[in-house]
Structure 1
Amino acid sequence: MTIAVKNINKRFGDFVALDNVSLDFPQGELTALLGPSGCGKTTLLRCIAGLEHPDSGQVLLDGADASDRHVRERQVGFVFQHYALFKHMTVFENVAFGLRVKPRKERPSEDQIRRKVKELLELVQLDWLADRYPPQLSGGQRQRIALARALAVEPRVLLLDEPFGALDAKVRKELRRWLRRLHDELHVTSIFVTHDQEEALEVADRVVLMNKGHVEQLGSPDEVYNHPASPFVYGFLGNVNVFHGRVHEGVLASDGVEFDVEGHGSGKGTAYIRPHDLEVERYAEGAEGIVVKLRRAHAIGPLAQLDLERTDNAQIIEATISNERYVALNLKDGETLVVRPKRLRVFVDEGAHA
């Protein structure tokens, strides 16, 4: 099923949750709605499900206006953050629930229900827990049962609201991989809400970055990370060093440091540099770049993260280098270094004056 929202607006009192949002969700794709708390992502998901009604705009399912359709008629499976399993029912009965409450003429026979539930529990690799009750399961197991229950009614759309938000980091990582594999098997059009950038970039086919009720950017994980469309996207996706200044004649001047930014007009400018896009060397007389002192190094695993303090204005700069490079340099806390950007992105407000 294809999903589209056209000019969706939603307010809660004076708070604008969605401000004229239009998006298309292609058939069979897994799309992440990503953004900070209060950006509108869960409200949008609930509007698609029919759990929330927009003030204006349309929700289109396979091109047909579903805005007035009841949630039961939308053929949507919904998975919440906190599982919402029935504690007094076994795992089997939880998964069977959606089938048992169907109208009599649509309800499968008891044999069909048994077969279907068995298949789904095998799909989520938990068939051995059929007779257990939710309180006897781990958080990761409960979430997989919640997903099996959502799939039982054969939804044409699967909506997941922060599905792994209540789990610890290790279990979340395992479930992310599992969800991606499951999606590749089923190809059901899926949308999941998260504020975890790593989760969105790792799992989704496409990422929708939202901020204050607007869509800031839409694209593949690679596109949104490597080619951010706005300062907000740059700042939200991963760590970044920010330099404010003024652009004039192809140069951004920022607190005594100049960056070559050919192709930009004049005005207030901001340079964004990822920690891994900085070269780090020992300081030598006359060296070009930003002079810094090493305040702290965190070298666990393949990468070393360096906290550097500019010697001229005490700004903290983060740099990431390989552990091999860190070992080869044999750096010590307090040592004077110089950093240079290998790559940077500049946004210029050409209407502003510094």
Structure 2
Amino acid sequence: MSIEVRHIHKRFGAFTALDDVSLAFPDGRLTALLGPSGCGKTTLLRIIAGLEHPDGGQVLLEGQDASHTHVRQRQVGFVFQHYALFKHMTVFENVAFGLRVKPRGQRPDERRIREKVMGLLELVQLDWLADRRPAALSGGQRQRIALARALAVEPRVLLLDEPFGALDAKVRKELRRWLRRLHDELHMTSLFVTHDQEEALEVADEIVIMNKGRVEQRGAPQAVYDAPETAFVYGFLGHVNLFHGRVRDGRLHTGGAALDMPGLEGAADAPGTAYVRPHDIQIEPLPAADQPPAGRGLLVNLQRAHAFGPLAQLELRREDTQEIIEVVMPSPEFDRIRAQGHRRFIARPRQARVFLN
């Protein structure tokens, strides 16, 4: 089912949670609402579900205005961060709950309910836990049961609010892969809220990045990561180094250095900030007494380094401003540098995006 929101506004007292948000979510896609705490993503999800009412704007489901439709009539499945399972019920009874409380004319008989529930438990690979109570389950198992319960009523839309936020890193990684596989099998229109950039990039078909109640950017994960449209998106998606300075003559003049910046040749003299990913910085060893040619790069000293698997992460201190730069490179390349005892380097961006202030 397709979902669309048009010109949604929502305030809580003096705080503006959503400021004229318009979005369309295609049928059968898995979309991540990504952003920092307080950006409006959960409020938007709850408005789509019917759990909150907007101060202005429309919610359309399958092209029909559902703004004043009760949550029960929207046929939306909702999965919360903290499971919300009934502790006194077994796993089977939790999943069956939504079916058993349907109006009499819509309620399946017990045989159909059992078939439906056991089929869902098999889908989430937990049918062997049907007679257990939630207290006997791990966090990851509880969240999968919560998802099975949401699917039991055959929703047209699945909404997930920080579904893995309460779990440890290893379980989160396993569950998001599992969610992606499940979505590929069900092809249900799904929206999930997260502040975890890695989670959104790995799981979603599309990402909507929000900030201060507005949409900053939307698009496929790779497209958004490779081509951020705003400084906020660049800084929010992954690690980034910031170089503050002034743009002049095609260079960014920062501290005691001038860095060549492709694409800035026609830029007016103005303050600017270069955003550079750690893997987009190249370093070269430099003898202690040497100085790099103007525009060649920054003089830096190695402060700390550690390797994790195929990659090494370096912390380098600029000689001019004393700021720390983070660099990521292949571990074998760093091993060669370390073996030669180098501590002083020229650092220069291979790729950067400059935003004028």
Tell me how far 1:257 sits from its aligned partner: 2.1
- Distance in 2 (CA, whole Å) between partners of 1:149 and 1:327 is 51
The TM-score, its normalising length taken from structure 2, stands at 0.96
Tell me how far 1:332 sits from its aligned partner: 8.0
Tell me how far 1:334 sits from its aligned partner: 8.1
Judge conservation of contact 1:34–1:200 (CA < 8 Å) in 2.
yes
- Distance in 1 (CA, whole Å) between partners of 2:138 and 2:339 is 44
* Other-structure match for 1:352: none
- Distance in 2 (CA, whole Å) between partners of 1:172 and 1:332 is 40
- Distance in 2 (CA, whole Å) between partners of 1:198 and 1:117 is 32
Tell me how far 1:331 sits from its aligned partner: 5.8
1:277 aligns with 2:280: yes
Judge conservation of contact 2:10–2:17 (CA < 8 Å) in 1.
yes
1:337 aligns with 2:345: yes
Matches within 5 A, 1:261-272: 261-272=264-275
Tell me how far 1:328 sits from its aligned partner: 1.5
Structure 1 residues 333 and 85: alpha-carbon distance in aligned structure 2, compared to 1, 3 A threshold: farther
- Distance in 2 (CA, whole Å) between partners of 1:138 and 1:336 is 49
**2:245 partner SS:** strand
**2:283 partner SS:** strand
* Other-structure match for 1:290: 298
2:329 pairs, out of 315, 321, 328, with 321
Structure 1 residues 293 and 77: alpha-carbon distance in aligned structure 2, compared to 1, 3 A threshold: same
* Other-structure match for 2:309: 301
Tell me how far 1:262 sits from its aligned partner: 2.6
- Distance in 1 (CA, whole Å) between partners of 2:121 and 2:223 is 36
The TM-score, its normalising length taken from structure 1, stands at 0.96
Judge conservation of contact 1:293–1:334 (CA < 8 Å) in 2.
no
* Other-structure match for 1:162: 162
* Matched residue count: 349
* Other-structure match for 1:346: 354
Judge conservation of contact 2:285–2:342 (CA < 8 Å) in 1.
no
Tell me how far 1:211 sits from its aligned partner: 0.5
- Distance in 1 (CA, whole Å) between partners of 2:33 and 2:306 is 32
Matches within 5 A, 1:183-262: 183-259=183-259, 260=261, 261-262=264-265
Q: Deviations over 1:92-140 (max 9, x none)?
A: 0000000001111111111110000011000000000000000000000
Tell me how far 1:338 sits from its aligned partner: 1.3
- Distance in 2 (CA, whole Å) between partners of 1:265 and 1:313 is 24
Judge conservation of contact 1:294–1:332 (CA < 8 Å) in 2.
no
Q: Deviations over 1:202-235 (max 9, x none)?
A: 0000001100001001011111111111111111
Judge conservation of contact 1:99–1:152 (CA < 8 Å) in 2.
yes
- Distance in 2 (CA, whole Å) between partners of 1:334 and 1:13 is 57
- Distance in 2 (CA, whole Å) between partners of 1:25 and 1:254 is 42
Tell me how far 1:280 sits from its aligned partner: 1.4
RMSD value over aligned CA atoms?
Answer: 1.2
**1:158 partner SS:** strand
Tell me how far 1:256 sits from its aligned partner: 2.2
Q: Which runs of 5+ in 2 are unaligned?
A: none
* Other-structure match for 1:116: 116
Structure 1 residues 130 and 289: alpha-carbon distance in aligned structure 2, compared to 1, 3 A threshold: same
Q: Deviations over 1:9-38 (max 9, x none)?
A: 000000000000000100000000000000
Tell me how far 1:242 sits from its aligned partner: 0.5
Structure 1 residues 332 and 45: alpha-carbon distance in aligned structure 2, compared to 1, 3 A threshold: farther
Structure 1 counterpart of 2:304, one-letter code: R
Judge conservation of contact 1:34–1:208 (CA < 8 Å) in 2.
yes
Structure 2 counterpart of 1:269, one-letter code: G
Tell me how far 1:286 sits from its aligned partner: 4.2
Runs of at least 4 residues off by over 6 Å: none
Q: Which runs of 5+ in 1 are unaligned?
A: 350-354
* Other-structure match for 2:60: 60
Matches within 5 A, 1:20-35: 20-35=20-35
Matches within 5 A, 1:31-42: 31-42=31-42
Q: Deviations over 1:235-275 (max 9, x none)?
A: 11111110111212322211122232334333221100000
Structure 1 counterpart of 2:324, one-letter code: I
